[in-house]
Each structure stands twice: as structure tokens, then as C-alpha cells.
Amino acid sequence: MTTTPRRPTRQQAAVAELLERCNDFTSAQTVHARLREAGEGVGLATVYRALQAMVEAGTVDVLRTDEGEAVYRACSTHHHHHLVCRACGRTVEVEGPAVEAWTDRIAAEHGFSDVTHTLEIFGTCGDCAP
């Protein structure tokens, strides 16, 4: 399954750069609005297409909020998970080999193959604590 390369454009670069300057998970709508504010107008459909391409390319992580909205973030490429402050949105990347091993073992025990998983941790960060 070779991922078809994409022809580079100003719009894709703008989306990628904005996402790298944002440190938190950001929705497509927000990316679109920020680009518009910055004068770098990019069509909404194009923002969606750029984000999807980056997700498929593995340069961006995507997850769903509880409300079902997709949010995106430029991430390091190795497998990891996120610790997200539910007050301010601050995000920390975390890894845990033990968890990886556990999910694979549990799945194998039940006869499942081709296993993937999602794991997100939510809490209140030190700055936002009461």
C-alpha cells in the first residue's frame, strides 16, 4: 500500500505551518479561521483535505472530542498517546511499552489479529488545578 504523494502547494504549507505553531489539538474549523485572520485565506474544503492527507502521511495525529469533533495536532512520528488537560487543552505526549504489550496480549487471548488501539488520558493540569 504505497501512499500516493501529493503535489505541494501554498495552501498545504500554510495548514502544516499553522498546525506546527499550535501546540494543542485544533479543529479544522479553527485552523480555517486562524488562517483567514492571518490573511492567508485557504478554503475550508482545502483545509480538510490537507489535514486528512497529513493524517494519512502520519505527520499529524487526529482524535475525536467527546462531542465528536475531529481535532488535529502535529506530532512526533513514533507511537504514543496523549495526556490532555480538560481545562486549558495543554497536551503531553506519553508512551508506555507495558500498555502496548497488554493490549496485544489481551487481543491475542481472545483470538483477535491485526490489532490497533486508542488511548487518551484526561485530567486537570497543575496550572489549572483549584
Residues near Zn ion, by CB under 5 A: 85, 87-88, 90, 100, 125, 128
Task: Return the DSSP state at 91.
Answer: E
Element (H, E) at 94: strand 91-94
62 vs 125 by CB, closer to DNA: 62
40 vs 100 by CB, closer to a copy of itself: 100
CB of 47 to a copy of itself, least distance (A): 17
Element (H, E) at 34: helix 28-37
Q: Is 115 exposed, middle or buried (0-12, 13-18, 19+ CB in 10 A)?
A: exposed
Chain residues in the site for a copy of itself (CB under 8 A): 64, 66, 68-70, 83, 85, 92, 94, 96, 98-99, 102-103, 106-107, 110-126, 129
